[in-house]
Amino acid sequence: MSPSTQVGRSWDWLTRILRRAPRTWVSGGVLVLYCSVLALAPGYAAPPSLLEQAQQRTDEAYRLSQAGRYQDAIPLAEDALRWREMALGSMHPDVAHSLQDPATLYYRQCRYTEAEPLLQRAIAIREQALGPTDPEVAQSLNHLAIGQDVIHAKAMFGAEEGKPLAQPGATSRV
């Protein structure tokens, strides 16, 4: 059996495992280590199926988000992020974009402290890959600043995490 056939079979096996894997395996680095070993194999190429599945998860997360089902969309966005990271490497600009997807879902639920580390990591990746003056870096910095402003305002007014500062439909006197 050729090395490229072995790698292809290994990726198929990995894809099946990922569908059933407990989150602790992935976050614990077991699957990342496995992918790192595969990357050293002769004839290595990230299978399109892994990236295609990541895109399908991203698309489904977007549909759920549009329907206001943010909590249901978060696991799909996180899966897409992990899969892109395994296929492309942790410092790829597409991974930075994938980091913003769950961060945006956290923002929409007023869970700013959970979004912040994801945005900081996206900024670091983009600064390294694209340079500090790239417009995508500025966009990420803007998203982070908005979240930090809201966190600061909530602290000032005693609002709880996960709850908006103002009630929907409330009007301002300004």
How far is CA 105 from each of CA 11, 17, 62, 135, rounded to the nearest angstrom? 29, 26, 9, 22
pLDDT of residue 5 exceeding 70:
no
The closest alpha carbon to 86, from 3, 13, 10, 26, belongs to 26
The closest alpha carbon to 52, from 104, 11, 96, belongs to 11
Within-domain flag for 158: yes
Within-domain flag for 172: no
Residue pair 44/76 in contact (Cβ under 8 Å)? The answer is no
Token pair, residue 31, equals: 């699957």
pLDDT the model gives residue 169: 46
CA distance 68 to 82: 23
9 and 50 fall within a common domain: no
State the CATH number of the domain containing residue 150: 1.25.40.10
Condensed to tens digits (0 to 9), the pLDDT of residues 102-149 reads 998 998 888 888 988 998 999 899 889 889 888 888 888 887 787 777
Residue pair 119/103 in contact (Cβ under 8 Å)? The answer is yes
Within-domain flag for 174: no
Within-domain flag for 115: yes
97 and 145 fall within a common domain: yes
82 and 20 fall within a common domain: no
16 and 91 fall within a common domain: no
Positive or negative, the CA dihedral 7, 99, 71, 28 is positive
Triad 57, 59, 60: Cα angle to 5°: 65
1 and 51 fall within a common domain: no
30 and 68 fall within a common domain: no
Within-domain flag for 171: no
119 and 140 fall within a common domain: yes
pLDDT of residue 15 exceeding 80:
no
CA distance 110 to 89: 30
- What is the extent of the structural domain holding 20? 1-45
Q: What are phi and psi of 15, to 5 degrees?
A: -60, -40
Positive or negative, the CA dihedral 26, 102, 128, 45 is positive
Among the ranges 90-94, 140-144, 165-169, which has the highest mean pLDDT value? 90-94
Residues contacting residue 140 through CB under 8 Å, at least 6 positions apart:
96, 100, 119, 122, 123, 126
62 and 15 fall within a common domain: no
Domain count for the chain, please give it: 2
